[in-house]
Amino acid sequence: MLRQGAYLLARPLAWSPSASSAVKLLAPIRPFGQTCRRFASTAQATSAPVSQTPGGISSTPDSPIVTASVGAEDKSKPKPYFLTTPIFYVNASPHIGHLHSLLLTDVLARFSRLRDPTRPVVFTTGTDEHGLKIQQAAKAGGVDEQEFCDRVSERFRDLARRSNISHTDFVRTTEPRHYTAVEHFWNKLVTSGDIYKGTHSGWYSISDESFFAASQVGEKDGKMISIETGNEVVWEEEVNWKFRLGAFKDRLLAWAGDPKSVQPNSYRQDILRQIQNLEDLSISRPLSRVRWGVPVPGDPEQVIYVWVDALINYITVLGYPESLEGWPADAHIVGKDIIKFHAIHWPALLMSAGLEPPRTVLAHAHWTMARSKMSKSRGNVVDPIGSLGKWGVDGVRWYLMRSGGSLPDDADYSEEQLGVNYRLLADQIGNLVARISSPSLLRKVKRFDDGDRDSELDEALSTMRNEFGSRMEAYQITRACEGVIEVIMAANRLFTILQPWATDDSTKAIVYAYHSLRLAGILLQPIIPSKATELLDRLGVPPHRRTWGEAVWPVEVDTEDMIRGLREGKKKYKGHLFPQVEMEAVAPTVATAAAAGDSIA
Ligand code: MSP
């Protein structure tokens, strides 16, 4: 007689369909109006002692915090979870490093939606289209700047589409809405008294679009280079507008004193060191040097410095100056090369304009090729479109997040490692779902009872979701991926030990494999969204049961329902969840310098 049917575990249940929406582990949401504060903006105020408010936000006692004038307070609305990627330079086509910044942000956005579906997510990306670098690249390509930007910007948009990025806005710095925001912001800086016109001299790097002081440059092969970035610099002396960055030292120290401000901590320590030594920042350049940019309001002979222009994109997307709903950013996701701009210049500029600094600047390390920095000039950049075509979007997403998801450490990109990572998914997840979908094994499923319990899997499954959640919350994406795969490995081991094909009762092997896959499918939705969806489809998990609240164990085990789901899944999907990719068919994805001038022709 078959022992098939529903069975309630003896242990108290942590699961019920209605409990799903009740599980909320995110920090309580503060309405926008409670968090948006005006900062003191005068240079004199900085000498006063800095106090720390409970939210880790600093202010000076003589500059009372008031609600910002933009973004009218609406206490009935939760503040959206606001995430941003850097906006990408359009001087060249996208490479795998750009995709990494996009993906990391996408994973966090999707995780928030999974964890707290009621909280809106604002997730913005876009392209950085002004400055000398772009002006020169357009010239080299023989096209006018706007046309050049239109074409290359479209490639970034296309990359986002192909890699299943769930952004809510794509901003371009050549859009009228951005000009409006930049001009308004500039005028705020003027009113603050924190900017002045003066003479500036220093070493300028076009690649970095940044001035460097004499102490930050050195000579290499007869050329002057920035010690920090290795890019060539040229001596420039010019009249431009300058921002009293040094006057913000105390307020910046207070902001960066909060461990949440810049993460991981090693990057924050570096920023704290840099804040000790601030020079005034050049924030415009003469029109004679760069003409492709936003003119300084009221001073048409000057063009706004491209980094100031670019950083403002983070408020353009919220509708600034009319609206700022969603500010401050919960996290600006940036590569380690551009932390200074986000964690020193941007907070200071915001404070000067009377706006709150971002809550977190989250930095990631870089992808290298054969341990050397990827760069267009070295011709060793990886073309993400090629990789996506060969390994599928989730093959690439999984590799980048599993191997490059450790934020402090660089990861070395290789096609071979991509293959190893893909096979891990195929061997562990793909094979397990294939194993349990076998009709002959499903016929041997009976009722699940106490005798079928496995203590190792019970333990692993019951802690799986919260462990995943806390790792994701700590931005340990690599470890979050590891945790899931380890449970699936344990389920595969159990399956092999039980040899369900050799006995007349496959219940225990299939139930544990099924629920391990079910939890993995739910939790991996932010990381490999399409494959996770297909996995859950193959298991027959209905869409409304793919929530955070459902990713629990133990549960009421309904083997009839499980068998029905697996049989339907089998009808719907032919073949393997992760089809084999022939390594021989894998041509190298290393693009020889996708230089925009060459590639847009
Ligand atoms: N336009 C500026 C950002 C302005 S944001 C207000 C910029 N653009 S970029 O196109 O050069 O870089 C965009 C992102 O790609 C940065 O986060 C950068 O760190 C990242 N990456 C570029 N090369 C990378 C790797 N090799 N590996 C990982 N990410 C890297 O900077």
3-state secondary structure 43-78: CHHHHCCCEECCCCCEECCCCCCCECCCCCCCCCCC
Contact 83, 105 (CB under 8 A): yes
Q: Classify residue 84 by burial, with Cβ atoms within 10 Å: 0-12, 13-18, 19+.
A: buried
Nearest ligand 1 atom to the CA of 365 is 28
Where helices occur in 354-506 by DSSP H, the ranges are 384-404, 415-424, 431-436, 439-442, 455-473, 477-498
Strand order across the beta sheet in which 372-373 lies: 372-373, 367-369, 411-413
- Distance from residue 86's CA to the centre of ligand 1 (Å): 7
**Upstream peptide bond of 264 is cis (omega within 30 degrees of 0):** yes
Contact 577, 433 (CB under 8 A): yes
Contact 261, 179 (CB under 8 A): no
Pick the CATH number of 81-194+244-364 from 3.40.50.261, 3.40.1410.10, 3.40.50.620, 3.40.50.970: 3.40.50.620
- The candidate with the shortest Cα–Cα distance to 213, out of 340, 53, 85, 43, is 340
Domain with residues 384-583, CATH architecture: Orthogonal Bundle (1.10)
Rounded Cα–Cα distance for residues 443 and 446 (Å): 8
Q: What is the per-residue pLDDT for 601?
A: 21
Atom 21 in ligand 1: residue holding the nearest Cα: 97
Rounded Cα–Cα distance for residues 471 and 174 (Å): 38
Atom 8 in ligand 1: residue holding the nearest Cα: 88
Q: What is the per-residue pLDDT for 40?
A: 30
Q: What is the per-residue pLDDT for 233?
A: 94
- Per-residue model confidence as pLDDT tens digits over 478-498: 999 999 999 999 999 999 999
Sign, CA dihedral 497-499-505-508, equals: positive
Q: What is the per-residue pLDDT for 348?
A: 98
Q: What is the per-residue pLDDT for 406?
A: 84
- Distance from residue 27's CA to the centre of ligand 1 (Å): 30
Q: Are strands 81-84 and 331-335 parallel, antiparallel or unpaired?
A: parallel
- Give the residue, out of 366, 371, 374, with the most ligand 1 atoms within 8 A of its beta carbon, to mutate for a pocket test: 366
Atom 13 in ligand 1: residue holding the nearest Cα: 88
Atom 12 in ligand 1: residue holding the nearest Cα: 88
- Distance from residue 85's CA to the centre of ligand 1 (Å): 9
- Distance from residue 541's CA to the centre of ligand 1 (Å): 39
State the span(s) of the chain assigned CATH 3.40.50.620: 81-194+244-364
Rounded Cα–Cα distance for residues 396 and 578 (Å): 12
Q: At what angle do helices 477-498 and 384-404 cross, to 10 degrees?
A: 80
- Give the residue, out of 95, 334, 376, with the most ligand 1 atoms within 8 A of its beta carbon, to mutate for a pocket test: 334
Q: Are strands 295-296 and 299-304 parallel, antiparallel or unpaired?
A: antiparallel
Ligand 1 surroundings by CB, under 6 angstroms = 86-89, 97-98, 100-101, 128, 310-311, 313, 334-335, 337-338, 366-367, 374
Q: pTM for this structure?
A: 0.86
Sign, CA dihedral 430-432-438-443, equals: negative
Q: What is the per-residue pLDDT for 29?
A: 26
CA torsion 175→176→181→182, rounded to 10°?
70
Q: What is the per-residue pLDDT for 75?
A: 63
599: left (phi > 0), else alpha (psi -120 to 50), else beta?
alpha
- Per-residue model confidence as pLDDT tens digits over 353-411: 999 999 999 999 999 998 888 877 778 899 999 999 999 999 999 999 999 878 999 99
Q: What is the per-residue pLDDT for 534?
A: 98
Q: Are strands 295-296 and 51-52 parallel, antiparallel or unpaired?
A: unpaired
H or E segment and range at residue 331:
strand 331-335
Residue linked to tokens 């239109």 = 150
Q: What is the per-residue pLDDT for 45?
A: 28
Nearest ligand 1 atom to the CA of 98 is 15
State the span(s) of the chain assigned CATH 1.10.730.10: 384-583
Nearest ligand 1 atom to the CA of 373 is 26
- What are the 10-residue block averages of pLDDT along the chain, 601 residues in total? 35 30 27 28 28 28 29 67 98 95 98 97 98 95 97 98 98 98 98 96 90 90 91 93 98 98 98 96 96 97 98 98 98 97 98 98 95 81 92 98 90 95 98 97 96 96 98 97 98 98 97 98 98 98 98 97 97 95 58 35 21
- Distance from residue 334's CA to the centre of ligand 1 (Å): 7
- Distance from residue 26's CA to the centre of ligand 1 (Å): 29
